[in-house]
Amino acid sequence: MEARDLKLADAEREISRLAAEVRRYEARYSTEDGVTLSVGSECDLYSNEISSMVLRILAEYRDSSSGDSRRRDVVKAIIESNVEDQFAAQAKSKIKEVLRGYVKMDPKVKKALEELGFQIDKQGKHPKLIFQGDERYTFTLPSTGGDSQHGGLNAASDLARLLF
């Protein structure tokens, strides 16, 4: 039974890795009407990630700029003409909910994090989370939430800052 579970976990990791690779290829070769921006070697780790990120950055610029200017009007028009995907906001909320009161990596926490696109490596002393199979976005959770009084919420905040 345990060997089958290990094979299943390996297969699920491979499926996740391949899905991320498909997203990279789709992002690289898709075309859209309007302004085209090259994102270089980066690709969406989840649906509409980069366009949503650009919209949030533009909104921050709009909110921090003062007065009327052509630049601000163009930024405002871009924001109003595009819909930001809500995955990031929903994921932040879900991560906070899952890690509130975090004590250990139990099956419920593991399942919720995997549903958000994390792979979980429990080989070391502390569980490591890898987002969408991209090793650049690895986050180490405390082995127990008791590492500090607010360990789970601090981890959720740090994780959201890293990814979204």
For the cut 80, the answer to whether the pLDDT of residue 34 exceeds it is no
Mean pLDDT of the chain: 88
- Ordered by start, the domain boundaries in the chain are 2-81, 87-163
Pair type for strands 138-140 and 128-131: antiparallel
Start-to-end CA span in the chain (Å): 38
Instruction: Tell me the CA distances in angstroms from 111 to 8, 62, 107, 160, one per residue in order.
Output: 14, 38, 6, 18
The Cα–Cα gap between 90 and 113 comes to 13
For the cut 80, the answer to whether the pLDDT of residue 131 exceeds it is yes
Sequence length of the chain is: 164
pTM higher than 0.85: no
Mean pLDDT over 133-154 rounds to 81
Tens digit of each residue's pLDDT (9 = 90 or more) over 59-76? 999 999 888 899 999 999
Task: Say which range, 19-23, 40-44, 52-56, has the weakest mean pLDDT.
Answer: 19-23
Provide the percentage of residues in the chain whose pLDDT is more than 70.
91
CA 141 remoteness from chain centre: 16
